[in-house]
Amino acid sequence: MAHYPLHFHIRLADPKAHRLRVQCRIEAPQATGQILRLAAWTRGSYLIRDFARHITWIRADCRGAPVCWERLDKRSIRCQPCDGPLRIEYEIHAFDPSVRKAYLDERRAFINGTSVFWHAEGQEGPFGVSLEATPLEDWCVATTLPTVDTDRRGFGDYQAADWEQLIDHPITIGPLRHVRFGADGIDHEVVFTGDTPADLDESRLREDLTRICEAQRGLFGNEPALSSYQFQTAVTADSYGGLEHRDSCALVCARDDLPLRDSGERSARYRGFLGLCSHEYFHLWNVKRITPEAFAASDLGSEAYTRDLWAYEGVTSYYDDYMLRRAGCLSVQQYLDAVGEQMTRVGRTAGRHVQSLAESSFEAWTKFYQPDENLPNATVSYYAKGALAALALDLRLRLDSRICLDDVMRALWQRYGKQALAAPEGALEAAACELADLPDLANEFDQWLRQPGEIALAPLLQRMGIRCEAVVDGKHMERNARVGLRMQPQTTVLAGVHEASPAQHAGLGGGDEIVAIDGARVTAHNLERRLLRLKPRRSATLHYFRDHQLYETLIMPEAPQADRWQLRLMDDADADTRALRAAWLGDEAA
């Protein structure tokens, strides 16, 4: 085994107890005492997660003699000076099923590097990583870390040029199922762990992802060159999420999200999974290479503030479904339905009138990932509203200039991503205004980004030959009368209430448990039926528990709101409009 300045050895020590054992060997520790720091957050997920709290114990030695160490802060330690190789051994409790940390049980293992690998101050790469083989013969390794010497199952030695590369290549271990495909001449694969369906339609998955990946690479001029790309996917009963990396992404999905053979058209859940893959793949450019200065400069120890998260997550959220449409995985109407759902979600968030997109981006660290019962009333998602801002920008450019949002993204790639330069604050806005040469575009950006309120999409869509109509949601549990409840799933416990709603006026709040309406018992099973009996402007008596005490309140339901957006192609659009529409949505929209 080659000697590296810094080398990590990982052992799946106790899957039943979820314990990872790691040895960190430093050949030439700092003369004044070696300082090591663990990241506090992971790139792509904007919350301080304090990974160091999952370390259960630490031991240090030099040539067999113990070395004393001390904590400097919640994520940092300093080992006393020693003459010769310093070895730090530590154990991690790995039982986070998300894509952000580490996980180990008797069925699979997953390592997100920020939660496992120390950053050793003053130590320069390359760094080594050894994965100790498990005796379980069907367990194999999937990672895009550069290989040095591994066995047929992938256990053995890897290396990274520096710490940033080390933490940016997740590792999946377990019984693996591979779905391999080529896109733009590059090897791609979906690597599944978990209980995948026996009749998984690998052919459909392969075909759909090939189209999506090639569409995205085509947008960016078939750059950058990659040796390979992995979608590392943990299959669960009912989970959903993803995290981007430089040459891969980590996903969790539900079994029902995956396509089955002989299932006919793509199901809504499968389209959602494809959207997740599309989203994380688009981050290959937008975040991982077109990177904001605030993130590039961060050592992952404290918050990295930017008002541009909408441009990285919101724009990516616009392109995820849009790329499905371009790849032929969504029909025109299915895509318009997805846009309508996005407009509906944002339109039902009262916080859109309180928080701007720029504020939402900046405050992600304290609000978006730490929701409370009032969050929808006080904030707006930089993902969802950011996607609508990206849509508005794309339509505005297509309608009134000679460019579109694709041109802006390509310019950002050429200026920053391709040159490995961090993007300054406001880079997308500046590039769009420069390339479009529309005098009033700066004012529109100011309205979209720095002012709370609506994004006026309906007029832009109308000009594109798409009719927008707000209707009462016929599937909503409050479709006959509006009360303003947000329920926890499959319970009668409130997750919260909508701003200025009858429920808020009646004094209800998150955590209250509804037990009766007009004297009739309420259960999770009959709640919707009880609510459907309510009439606008006809008061009802509601009983609920709060802090184990029974309370009564009078509630006055309102008329249901027309807040569900429906989008349809206009058959009477003129030839010029049809041509613009087809350039955006494809020939089916002509």
Q: Which long-range contacts (CB under 8 A, 24 or more apart) does 490-493 make?
A: 490/524, 491/524, 492/522, 492/523, 492/524, 492/527
54-74 pLDDT, tens digit each: 999 999 999 999 999 999 999
**Residue 84 pLDDT:** 86
* DSSP per-residue letters across 502-545: HHHHTT--TT-EEEEETTEE--TTTHHHHHHT--TT--EEEEEE
- 89 pLDDT exceeds 60? yes
Q: What is the mean pLDDT of the chain?
A: 97
% of the chain with per-residue pLDDT over 70: 100
> What gap in Å lies between CA 155 and CA 9, rounded to an integer?
11
Cβ-Cβ contacts under 8 Å for 152 (sequence gap 6 or more): none
What's the average model confidence in pLDDT over 2-25?
95
325-378 pLDDT, tens digit each: 999 999 999 999 999 999 999 999 999 999 999 999 999 999 998 999 999 999
386-404 pLDDT, tens digit each: 999 999 999 999 999 999 9
Q: How far is CA 364 from CA 47, 313, 357, 360, 403, in A?
A: 7, 11, 10, 6, 31
Q: Name the burial class of residue 419, with classes exposed (0-12), middle (13-18) and buried (19+) by CB atoms within 10 angstroms of its CB.
A: exposed
**Residue 578 pLDDT:** 97
Domain covering 285-402+416-466+570-590 in this structure, CATH number: 1.10.390.10
Q: 176-272: what CATH class?
A: mainly alpha
403-457 pLDDT, tens digit each: 999 999 999 999 999 999 999 999 999 999 999 999 999 999 999 999 999 999 9
264-311 pLDDT, tens digit each: 899 999 999 999 999 999 999 999 999 999 999 999 999 999 999 999
- 250 pLDDT exceeds 80? yes
Q: Name the burial class of residue 221, with classes exposed (0-12), middle (13-18) and buried (19+) by CB atoms within 10 angstroms of its CB.
A: exposed
* DSSP per-residue letters across 336-393: HHHHHHHHHHHHT-GGGGT--HHHHHHGGGTTTTS--TTHHHH---TTHHHHHHHHHH
What token pair was written down for 205? 């998955």
Q: Do domains 285-402+416-466+570-590 and 485-559 have the same CATH topology?
A: no
> What gap in Å lies between CA 374 and CA 370, rounded to an integer?
11
Q: 6-172: what CATH class?
A: mainly beta
- 546 pLDDT exceeds 60? yes
Confidence band, pLDDT 50/70/90 cuts, at residue 125: confident
As beta bridge partners, residue 10 has: 22, 131
- 1 pLDDT exceeds 60? no
**Residue 375 pLDDT:** 94
182-232 pLDDT, tens digit each: 999 999 999 999 999 999 999 999 999 999 999 999 999 999 999 999 999
Domain boundaries, the chain: 6-172, 176-272, 285-402+416-466+570-590, 485-559
What token pair was written down for 406? 């694709």
- 2 pLDDT exceeds 80? no
**Residue 481 pLDDT:** 97
480 neighbors 535 (Cβ within 8 angstroms): yes
Q: Domain spanning 485-559: which superfamily?
A: PDZ domain (2.30.42.10)
435 neighbors 407 (Cβ within 8 angstroms): yes
What token pair was written down for 243? 């995290």
